Structure 1
Amino acid sequence: MKEFKTAGDYAQVPIKQLYQQFETSAAGLSSHEVQVRLATYGHNTIQRGQRQSQFKLFIKNFTSLMAILLWISGIIALFAGMLELAIAIWAVNLINGVFSFWQEHAAQKATNSLRQMLPAYTQVLRDGQQQQIDAADLVPGDIFTIQAGNSISADAYLISATGLQVDESALTGESVPESKSVIYHPGDGKFAETNIVYAGTTAASGNAQAIALNTGMNTEFGQIAQLTQNQRPNVSPLQKELNHLTQQISLLAISIGVLFFILAIFFVHYPIAKSFIFALGMIVAFIPEGLLPTVTLSLAQGVQRMAKKHALVKDLSSVETLGETTVICSDKTGTLTQNQMTINHIWLPSGDYVVSGQGYVNNGQIMLGQQPYIFGQKHDLDLLLQISVLNNNTTVKAPATVGEQAKILGTPTEAALIILAEKAQLDLSTLQTKLPRQQEFPFDSERKRMTTIQLVNGQPVAYIKGALDGLLAISTTILDNGQVRNLTEQDRRHILAANDHYAAAGLRSLAMAYRELNPQANWTQAAVEQGLTFVGLTIMADPPRLEIYAAVAKCHAANIRIIMVTGDSALTAKSIACKIGITSDQARVVTGTELANMSDADLKAALSSELIFARVAPEQKYRVVTMLQSMGEVVASTGDGVNDAPALKKADIGVAMGMTGTDVAKDAADMILTDDNFASIVAAIEEGRTVYSNIQKFLLYILNSNLPEAAPSVIFLFSRGLIPLPLTVMQILTVDLGTDMLPALGLGAERSEPGIMEQPPRKHNAHLLNRRILWTAFGWYGLIAAVLSTIGYFLVNYANDWPQINLAASGGVYQQATTMTLAVIIFCQIAAALNCRTQYSSLFKIGLFSNRKIIGGIVFEILLLLALMYLPTLQLIFNTAPLHGAEWLYLLAIPLPLLLIEETRKYWLRRPVN
């Protein structure tokens, strides 16, 4: 048996030599030999990368830096003698870990349900008999058959082929099927050998018999999959940022703890043990226990909102990375375009016709002047339509329901021709019966045309369609306005000029011709395909998605650059890119051949300007993504084929197509589009920006309560213990894990702030916790809340004859005073929850009550405060007491002024600078 080689290495090996090398024959392998080879080569399956066990995935959610900080916080609280606090912190960590695991597990299940595997069955010759086997049991040396519509199960060498065209877009990105034959031609680019077919591709038309060369992971499909699996997963920007934030908060909390420890010893003259416990309590108070669950829930809500916008995110932290995206490397076919070839013009010597409607649905018309054209009115156009549908082996099944895709069995080009004829109300079945096919000369890559012989009123007529250059060369007459005349040099120039005009716009042409035959002649291909009468051209393109224009404009407004990286031709790629606004006419097009000869320095320089990549190989797309990342860009890369998988894995965000994507591409991606639509990526980016903004709003919200929580301890220290602590540690915990939690979660569900997609992506070195948040939290919201809560504490004290009484010994008065401090902080937080909803926009513009979760959280805050005040059991645990009328009037007067003051501040921020 052979050693492993790539399939292309066998392209020029004669079939007899190949039989000897693979120890097989035209009768196929024996059953015994199949078992031997299965043991040697394994099953014909694409192995997925090693997956972490569910247990490891579960544990991962409890070992992030923030989770570890919370475990330590609980231990500190336990050593400080605050058992309830320790239990509460650990419970939060457990709940968050379980929730994170459940969210990612649910996303992975949804991903798995979208997977599209290799074909389940294959027809093979074994022991000289045709058999149907599981494709996983195919081995090198097997002889198997290929029919239109079949997925191809292995890299294989063609033994026979009739009209075989193969859709290789999963490997090459090229949307037009490639013609295959037993005669070797090198073709243009990788995977282009005419006598070799590859695993993971699909037979668009025709049939063939082939010998399997490589199976499973030894196929080109498998080799690219292996390249993808060998890459290490990147740590997302959000994971890095949360780690950085944890370090910041830890440093802040420990610094404050040390400061208070020193002050307690040298200023208050506390014993060291008591000072240490006091400092530990301050450290716990400054650690935002609600950060991790709120971030997780914010991401989870973002995942759910994205799912409604057709974007399935596999990992929670990937949500935010989308918002940081600076460059999108986008495939063309099916992402920017509809992946539905459409005829939009017909060119005849007598005139140019516009065809309306897009896709494989009969929802347009052929326009003759200002009127829709109906079959039977004009001989020239009628004949072109007849050739289009009779010289055609494709069938189109109309969608059964609204929103369903039309199904085609055959090639996209032929499907477009059928839809063209239907737009003129041509009855295909009647025409096929009236003009039956007598013979066919299938399309091949050398002739670049297909010929059928139809019986027209008892007269055999050859209908020919194909590439213009080859067809025009064998035409001698032309059909012009219903009359056949000699084809002159001027006619040829006229036809070629028209074709060049459409080609310059990135459109493809397909030429039509016919010839009346002698009924008594021997119809050979060479004899038939000469002396043709040229009829006209059908002009087609894969049209852009209707929503793509707005999506591209949105990216430009958001300073997100789009670079088309496609396997399609340079002319088509540039035409589409210019048409939908990705680039201008000045954009440079770099082909795969040019890219292969570029140094890294040249590529880096090229990437700094407008650029389109066409006819690129998988490793080249990977190289483009890698180079962009080295330039500091955050890259989202799209794709659907196995050829896209390495780039999807390498990118900061890999985006695979859910409808047309291969299993390998989906496995490599971070996000799957269930509608294969570029506009869904833009919607997901907006959602990612919103999630990041909401996390910052949450940070601002929880940090602003730290200053009023710390102020009582400062008062206690600077009074040298004469003024009892205005707030206990359990009351601090009430704010951090009780009253703050639901409004914070409501902020995580806040909709996009107006203008969020008109801002540039955040800088790569920007941090969640920045100067603006720190200043607003501590120098504005926090300072106001600290002053108001301190005033509230002393108001209760003065109302009860302090300083004449000893507060610490007064029992109920002290409890009432600490309850007042707690209540003021909560009412300040009510205003803060509303104020934090926007950074610059007016709250009244987005709607005061538009976020029901925040309103519900505020109601919960008030109910919890009432429970703490009036339920005896909670009074004992949290050291609280009921408040009276005067205190309630003070509390109720807090939120509205704070709201109006903040609206005034935001108004000044929004003012245009002259």
Structure 2
Amino acid sequence: MDENKIRELYAQNDISEVFTNLQSSTDGLSSEEAASRLEKYGPNQIQKAKEESEWKAFFKNFISMMAILLWVSGAVAMFSGTLELGIAIWLVNIINGLFSFWQERAAKKATDALNNMLPTYVEAIRDGKKVQIDAKELVPGDVFVLQAGNSIPADARLISASSMQVDQSALNGESVPESKTTDYSPGEGSYAETNLVYSGTTVGAGTARAIAFATGMNTEFGKIAKLTQKQNKVDSPLTQELNRLTKQLSIIAVSIGIVFMIAAIAFVKYPFAKAFIFALGMIVAFIPEGLLPTVTLSLAQGVKRMAKKHALVKELNSVETLGETTVICSDKTGTLTQNQMTIHYIWTLKNEFQVTGNGYENNGQVELNKKQLWYEENPDLHKLVQIASLDNDTAVQPSKTKGGKPKILGTPTEASLIIMAEKAGFDRQKVLVKYPRLRELPFDSDRKRMSTIHRWNDTQDIIFTKGSFSDVIKQCDQIQVDGEVRSLTEDDRNVADKCNAEYAAKGLRSMAMAYRIIDSKDTDINKLTIETAEEHLVFVGLTTMSDPPRPEIYNAVKRCHEAGIKIIMVTGDSKLTAKTVAVQIGLTSDKARVISGDELNKMSDDELREALKGEVIFARVAPEQKYKVVKTLQENGEIVASTGDGVNDAPALKQADIGIAMGMTGTDVAKDAANIILTDDNFASIVAAIEEGRAVYSNIRKFLTYILTSNVPEAFPSILFLLSGGLIPLPMTVMQILTVDLGTDMLPALGLGGEPVDPDVMKQPPRKRSEHLLNRSVIVKAFLWYGLISSIISICAYFFVNMQNGWPKVALASSGSVYMRATTMVLGAIIFSQIANVLNCRTNKVSIFKKGLFSNRNIWYGIIFEILLFLVLTVTPGLQQLFNTTRLMPIDWLFLFCLPIPLVIIDEIKKWLLYREK
């Protein structure tokens, strides 16, 4: 039978049938039967998906496309006779793999997500007696006890319930607690059956007994975990892009190697074997060995910067993926809103009072006409606050830490009334001493009211009643106005009804307050029924509440829209609430289409794809439906970031290109499924993280341009050697090429990786997936502009040394001190040209002087390092032999230090011309 049908049967069948089906009774199970069922069903815990082994996680860092290319390059280098080169390339691969493994392991916290949410112990009925057992030992058929504050350990049918309210926001995203009774009603939305409670949710108020019908992975909680675990992990867009880049560079390198081999045979008359080894050397030269470690370290820098902006990144590649996000699927409760019910207005027939302060802050005020008003100054306000505070079972305990949230013992709705009273200056404990509670008529979902009876004076008692507007006002025949009680007229009802409708249209939830004074001598309060107590009430007014948007959300949404990022609300809340909040914070216009979960079930895939192209909001959706929305968006070609904090968000978080979980209020399940965790639960941090992601990609492209630039002057000497038929001795060796790729280029490239974000990066549309790292702009800049200029300069440096030694009258030296000095100058010319190139690559159109020549100190540290490294290679005897270098003359150093100046000036002129044209 379908699992949903089974759930319906447990909800709709008579409780006696439930006992029969589960072979249990009100006395619970026997210890022997419980042990037998534990053996059959297994422990009541969520089984985590089989995790990737440490060894597999370790080795995956050494088998990416770029890593494989480097392994092959190292082997080729060894095969061609340059053992040192091969070893060096392999060491780079090993160091990079170790760093990636360490970084990802440090960032990802291994947490047993679902088990941490289940209670450790539960009070069960075994052998007819109450016993405390480990929650893992609970089995189907067990009867257990619930009270306020308990986490619910299993999916269960209620046997008895008193004022039972359950916070199901972690499961369904609904911000308002669900009222639970023993009577069946289907409710609205997912998991809304009034007589069923679900594992992982929390009792907000009341007490109950329940019989478990599903435990462990068979609970709704477990099914969501299964859905999350089944999803296969896909490569991030950056991984895919690097794989593509690796293939492109491999094709380029092999093609150039083939051309060079043919040229060596044709022009220099090399035998095939020698030409082949020469070509292998050129293939190694054209593979940017430093690219992979530079990308990895740049991403690590991005991780650190994002951590400072309250975004914890679990995997390095997730940083860049944020930068190309086109759609954010956002939960409402706790993500866009504060997940704290807050009173906004108090309404009486004569006045409307505004309550300031967000969430559970008690430093706000109650204001009338923008003037702080103490409740004693207005008798109607006084009475309403009195009812709200005393007809209340919730306690609010101040936070023990500075700036922390208070602890709520009860329901968020009643907590908002307590905080409202405090803002009005009402001392609840002091007043309770004066008017002690005598009896309570608990809330139930049928009448939607709650009443408490208090001692008023020596001869009178008072009944305080609160509840939904329509259910309270129909019990009223009087109204208090300016402290005086009179008959409630039809006009009064119409005014109140109109006011309530206006609040509802704004997405605010109303709660009405009323009271009745009775003669204690004539009426025995213990004999009062709900019907006789809650009649002939005096209507006082309304409080209106909502889960308010986060203060920073307005600007965050605006910045997303400016950046071309669409935000789609996907929530378990009602359609009216969802749309009201979406319009209020600027997420959508009032014309947005709101699709409920039921409507979504009836839509075809094509209809959903079409709906997602316009303004749309999803309300009352189930977890698998959130997952479906995310997947359909991806099928539409969108790069999706999904945010959330509840268990219900986990499947969508894992399916999304980027899953973003709330760190403070988020469940461990959500954090486990996400790629990024916001440590401050601030939606604005998502925008900052997207900005950082865009900056990271831009910087990767900058240092890709910089690294590829040096390939041209590295290859140019070999081209001259081939085209001259060997008359121009090879001006640069393979080990010198490696010096640039893995030595001098590395730190400046890392400095580019930390280049500050461009001011207009969030005013540009997201990068298209079809726009690749190695695009036309990079090729033109690297090969035809910077690379060509550097090649000319490096060859000039070669001939500069030979001219000082008699060339062209004397043949070019092919060995000896002059040759060594000439090749050293070629290496030096490339290094000093790269000093200019790294500065030029910092900006595309804006002058480097406008951005600040010294604003990126890491680049200058890299420049100093490469100059010192070059100096060490030229003066250290052992290194001189290894890298074919020698000491340079003072005039050589003067030549090299002057090189960057004209290169920067030339590029500045180019940028000025382009910038002026724009």
TM range (shorter): over 0.9
Is 1:586 aligned to 2:591, yes or no?
yes
d(CA) in 2 for partners of 1:517 and 1:911? 85
Q: Which amino acid aligns with 2:689?
A: A
Pairwise CA distance, 1:770: 0.4
Q: Retained in 2: the 8 A contact 1:753–1:841?
A: no
1:777-823 CA distance string (max 9 Å, x none):
11111111111111111001110112444544551111111111111
Q: Retained in 2: the 8 A contact 1:62–1:93?
A: yes
User: In the alignment, which residue of structure 1 is the partner of 2:34?
Assistant: 34
User: In the alignment, which residue of structure 2 is the partner of 1:217?
Assistant: 217
User: In the alignment, which residue of structure 2 is the partner of 1:708?
Assistant: 713
Q: Which amino acid aligns with 1:603?
A: L
d(CA) in 2 for partners of 1:450 and 1:840? 68
In the alignment, which of 821, 825, 831 is matched to residue 836 of structure 2?
831
Q: Retained in 2: the 8 A contact 1:4–1:218?
A: no
Is 1:92 aligned to 2:97, yes or no?
no
Task: For 1:479-498, list aligned pairs within 5 A.
Answer: 479-498=480-499
Pairwise CA distance, 1:5: 7.0
Q: CA distance change for structure 1 residues 568 and 404 in 2, over 3 Å: closer, same or farther?
A: same
d(CA) in 2 for partners of 1:381 and 1:316? 56
Q: CA distance change for structure 1 residues 810 and 194 in 2, over 3 Å: closer, same or farther?
A: closer
d(CA) in 1 for partners of 2:884 and 2:272? 25
d(CA) in 1 for partners of 2:643 and 2:175? 16
Q: Which amino acid aligns with 1:99?
A: F
The DSSP-based 3-state class of the residue aligned with 1:699 is: helix
User: In the alignment, which residue of structure 2 is the partner of 1:57?
Assistant: 57
Q: CA distance change for structure 1 residues 596 and 4 in 2, over 3 Å: closer, same or farther?
A: closer
User: In the alignment, which residue of structure 1 is the partner of 2:431?
Assistant: 431
d(CA) in 2 for partners of 1:160 and 1:112? 33
The DSSP-based 3-state class of the residue aligned with 2:698 is: helix
User: In the alignment, which residue of structure 2 is the partner of 1:782?
Assistant: 787
d(CA) in 2 for partners of 1:467 and 1:447? 9
Q: CA distance change for structure 1 residues 113 and 470 in 2, over 3 Å: closer, same or farther?
A: closer
Q: Which amino acid aligns with 1:469?
A: S
User: In the alignment, which residue of structure 2 is the partner of 1:124?
Assistant: 124
Q: CA distance change for structure 1 residues 418 and 854 in 2, over 3 Å: closer, same or farther?
A: same
User: In the alignment, which residue of structure 2 is the partner of 1:391?
Assistant: 391
The DSSP-based 3-state class of the residue aligned with 1:841 is: coil
User: In the alignment, which residue of structure 2 is the partner of 1:193?
Assistant: 193
d(CA) in 1 for partners of 2:112 and 2:533? 52
Q: CA distance change for structure 1 residues 668 and 109 in 2, over 3 Å: closer, same or farther?
A: closer
User: In the alignment, which residue of structure 1 is the partner of 2:271?
Assistant: 271
Is 1:367 aligned to 2:367, yes or no?
yes
Is 1:462 aligned to 2:467, yes or no?
no
User: In the alignment, which residue of structure 2 is the partner of 1:793?
Assistant: 798
Q: Retained in 2: the 8 A contact 1:7–1:155?
A: no
The DSSP-based 3-state class of the residue aligned with 1:516 is: strand
Q: Retained in 2: the 8 A contact 1:285–1:709?
A: yes
Is 1:813 aligned to 2:813, yes or no?
no
Pairwise CA distance, 1:332: 0.7
Runs of 4 or more above 6 Å deviation: 2-5, 110-115
d(CA) in 2 for partners of 1:785 and 1:808? 23
The DSSP-based 3-state class of the residue aligned with 1:825 is: helix
Q: Which amino acid aligns with 2:382?
A: D
Task: For 1:167-246, list aligned pairs within 5 A.
Answer: 167-246=167-246
Is 1:540 aligned to 2:541, yes or no?
no
Q: Retained in 2: the 8 A contact 1:115–1:666?
A: no
The DSSP-based 3-state class of the residue aligned with 2:234 is: coil
Q: CA distance change for structure 1 residues 240 and 867 in 2, over 3 Å: closer, same or farther?
A: same
Task: For 1:575-654, list aligned pairs within 5 A.
Answer: 575-654=580-659
Is 1:564 aligned to 2:565, yes or no?
no
User: In the alignment, which residue of structure 1 is the partner of 2:356?
Assistant: 356
1:472-491 CA distance string (max 9 Å, x none):
11111111111111111111
Q: Which amino acid aligns with 1:668?
A: A
Q: Which amino acid aligns with 2:405?
A: Q
Is 1:765 aligned to 2:770, yes or no?
yes
What is the TM-score normalised by the length of structure 2? 0.97
User: In the alignment, which residue of structure 1 is the partner of 2:905?
Assistant: 900
User: In the alignment, which residue of structure 2 is the partner of 1:885?
Assistant: 890
Pairwise CA distance, 1:912: 6.1
User: In the alignment, which residue of structure 1 is the partner of 2:534?
Assistant: 529
User: In the alignment, which residue of structure 1 is the partner of 2:756?
Assistant: 751
Which 5+ residue runs of structure 2 have no aligned equivalent?
none
User: In the alignment, which residue of structure 1 is the partner of 2:344?
Assistant: 344
Q: Which amino acid aligns with 1:485?
A: R
Q: Retained in 1: the 8 A contact 2:189–2:572?
A: no
More divergent stretch after superposition (611-620 vs 693-702): 611-620
d(CA) in 2 for partners of 1:77 and 1:111? 44
Q: Retained in 2: the 8 A contact 1:6–1:219?
A: no
Q: Which amino acid aligns with 2:507?
A: G
User: In the alignment, which residue of structure 1 is the partner of 2:476?
Assistant: 475
User: In the alignment, which residue of structure 2 is the partner of 1:25?
Assistant: 25
Q: Retained in 1: the 8 A contact 2:267–2:724?
A: no
d(CA) in 2 for partners of 1:52 and 1:471? 57
The DSSP-based 3-state class of the residue aligned with 1:616 is: coil
Task: For 1:293-372, list aligned pairs within 5 A.
Answer: 293-372=293-372
1:628-671 CA distance string (max 9 Å, x none):
11111111111222222222222111222222222332222222
Q: Which amino acid aligns with 1:155?
A: D
User: In the alignment, which residue of structure 1 is the partner of 2:411?
Assistant: 411
Pairwise CA distance, 1:113: 9.3
Q: Retained in 1: the 8 A contact 2:114–2:669?
A: no
Q: CA distance change for structure 1 residues 373 and 67 in 2, over 3 Å: closer, same or farther?
A: same
Q: Retained in 1: the 8 A contact 2:117–2:200?
A: no
The DSSP-based 3-state class of the residue aligned with 1:61 is: helix
The DSSP-based 3-state class of the residue aligned with 2:598 is: helix
1:529-571 CA distance string (max 9 Å, x none):
1111110011112111111111111101100000111111111
The DSSP-based 3-state class of the residue aligned with 1:133 is: strand
The DSSP-based 3-state class of the residue aligned with 1:367 is: strand
Q: Retained in 2: the 8 A contact 1:7–1:156?
A: no
The DSSP-based 3-state class of the residue aligned with 1:387 is: helix
How high is the sequence identity, in percent, across the aligned residues? Answer: 62
Task: For 1:253-268, list aligned pairs within 5 A.
Answer: 253-268=253-268
d(CA) in 2 for partners of 1:115 and 1:18? 27
Q: Retained in 1: the 8 A contact 2:104–2:314?
A: yes
User: In the alignment, which residue of structure 2 is the partner of 1:740?
Assistant: 745
d(CA) in 1 for partners of 2:67 and 2:871? 31
Pairwise CA distance, 1:896: 2.4
What is the TM-score normalised by the length of structure 1? 0.98
d(CA) in 2 for partners of 1:655 and 1:909? 39
Pairwise CA distance, 1:13: 2.0
User: In the alignment, which residue of structure 2 is the partner of 1:656?
Assistant: 661
Is 1:145 aligned to 2:145, yes or no?
yes
Q: Which amino acid aligns with 1:734?
A: T
d(CA) in 1 for partners of 2:449 and 2:492? 21
d(CA) in 2 for partners of 1:908 and 1:406? 60
Aligned residues: 912
1:148-204 CA distance string (max 9 Å, x none):
111111001111111110011112110000000112222112211111000011111
Pairwise CA distance, 1:507: 1.2
d(CA) in 1 for partners of 2:486 and 2:293? 80
User: In the alignment, which residue of structure 1 is the partner of 2:83?
Assistant: 83
d(CA) in 1 for partners of 2:494 and 2:357? 30
Q: CA distance change for structure 1 residues 112 and 274 in 2, over 3 Å: closer, same or farther?
A: farther
The DSSP-based 3-state class of the residue aligned with 2:515 is: strand
Task: For 1:499-518, list aligned pairs within 5 A.
Answer: 499-518=500-519
